[in-house]
Amino acid sequence: MRISVFGSGYVGLVSGACLADVGHEVLCMDVDPERIATLRAGEVPIHEPGLDGLIRQNAEAGRLRFTTDTEEAVQFGSLLFIAVGTPPDEDGSADLQYVLAVAESIGRYMQDYKVVIDKSTVPVGTADKVRATVQAALDARGIPLDFDVCSNPEFLKEGAAIEDFTRGPRIVVGTDSERVREAMRECYAPYNRNHDKLMFMSVRAAELTKYAANAMLATKISFMNEMANLAERLDVDIEEVRRGIGSDPRIGYHFIYPGCGYGGSCFPKDVQALCRTARQVDYPAQLLEAVEEVNNRQKGTLFAKLNQALDGQLAGKTIALWGLAFKPNTDDMRAAPSRTLMEALWAAGAKVQAYDPEAMKECRRIYGERDDLMLAGDRIQAVRGADALVICTEWKEFRTVDFAWLKRELNLPVVVDGRNLYEPKALQQAGLLYYGVGRGDSASRCVRPEA
């Protein structure tokens, strides 16, 4: 099939490369000429394991091409995927201007029947707006052409996006048209061989499915963080509780790791957008609003713990920071807990010595050169001369540490572990003051209810 993908960002590139890899002819479009030039030169502007190889192979085979030409992209594909960004508006709702601009171009340039596919995460009712926008552009040309709009949300995790695309548990398609069902069956047939993963439903149900999935996962995390904060006050180790409840198959072990809060490009934005949608239909979603509030509070706990450990004397101190990305295997720092921490430390007059296996360039891009930020070459250098250590991301290389060495390196023996990587006893035996998340240690009880 001939497929055009509008938006060569994270979702567009992964989808485009995976669809080309099974033999479709794919044209990825983006309005950013620099991005397209980079891609044409065989480089990939984002960090995602396996993606550069996949793009290179399929580009060399001639199945995957890149363009900045909207008209060419509209005319090329019979399937037109919209995978542009939907950043939050000032009020938290999804900003649809990029999605609707693509819809307008489709109406302006199409010459025959098209299936328009919303891949971006968009609020319930967006497909109707896309349909109306395409139709208005067609009407302006006075040409009566047929088209369909469907919703096909992605469920890609950063760091495992290719695996999720190729072997994900479901392919959701929202449509009421048999013609679209056939086209989508053909498009996904290579990824739908062993058992039927295609789920057809109404357009609005597909749109809500994406938000509901992310909101449910975010809820699990905020719930566990709430339990962890409670465990701290009750002198209970949340890790024991986590294993205790995870063993119930109705609860399960996935996504119940307490920590320093969720970040990334999806959960914070999608929970906010769903809260906003709920308000628009006069149903203030109390649980979802609390999920967000708990998460915001949780992102502040690392600073609160450090501040308590240092008796409020953070000015002039140097804090080592391991992990900047919002999770391992990505360089993405969007809404990362590390940012909340660094910004609070700087405001308190402390310096940061940070190390992350992938996100150093991204950190420099966001914060630039500043006297109170040193980007270290490795985790050892980050700790050298520092007063305390904070862990924000559970990269594998942080899991094993010589605690006796750490005790010698740190001026104050304080370790704040935002991901519960270590056994509190091991650090305490090495003479370190350990602050985990919900580890039942009275020293770590510093999430104040009013915070």
Enzyme catalytic residues: 266
- 369 DSSP 8-state letter: S
Which residues, numbered 294-333, are part of the site for ligand UDX (CB under 6 A)?
326-327
Instruction: Answer whether 152's CB lies under 8 Å from 119's CB.
Output: yes
Cβ closest to ligand UDX, residue 189 vs residue 212: 212
| Of 102-110, 131-139, 213-221, 372-380: span binding ligand UDX (CB under 6 A) | 213-221
CB of 299 to ligand UDX, least distance (A): 10
Least distance between ligand UDX and beta carbon 112 (Å) = 32
Under a CB-based contact definition with an 8 Å cutoff, are residues 324 and 393 in contact?
yes
Q: How far is the CB of 354 from ligand UDX (least distance, A)?
A: 17
Binding mask 229-268 for ligand UDX (x = CB under 6 A): --------------------------xxx-x--xxx-xx-
Instruction: Rank residues 9 and 413 by Cβ distance to ligand UDX and give the closer one.
Output: 9
**One character per residue 265-284, x = contact with ligand UDX (rule: CB under 6 A):** -xx-----------------
Residues in the chain: 451
Question: Closest Cα partner for 340 from 259, 271, 449?
Answer: 259
| Residues 145-174 as x/- pattern, contact with ligand UDX by CB under 6 A | ---------xxxxx----------------
Do 206 and 151 touch, CB atoms closer than 8 A?
Answer: yes
For the segment 403-432, give every residue that binds ligand UDX (CB under 6 A).
none
| Pick 138 or 271: Cβ nearer ligand UDX | 271
Q: Is 97 exposed, middle or buried (0-12, 13-18, 19+ CB in 10 A)?
A: exposed
Residue that has been written with the tokens 């998460």 in this structure: 295
In the bound complex, what is the minimum distance in angstroms from residue 60's beta carbon to ligand UDX? 28
288-to-89, 214, 283, 326, 336 alpha-carbon distances in Å = 18, 11, 11, 21, 20
Through-space distance between the first and last CA atoms of the chain, rounded to whole angstroms = 54
Shortest Å distance, C-beta 218 to ligand UDX: 7
What's the rounded Cα separation, in Å, for the pair 444 and 434?
Answer: 8
Rounded to whole angstroms, how far apart are CA atoms 129 and 337? 35
**Binding residues for ligand UDX, per CB under 6 A?**
154-158, 214, 217, 221, 255-257, 259, 262-264, 266-267, 326-327
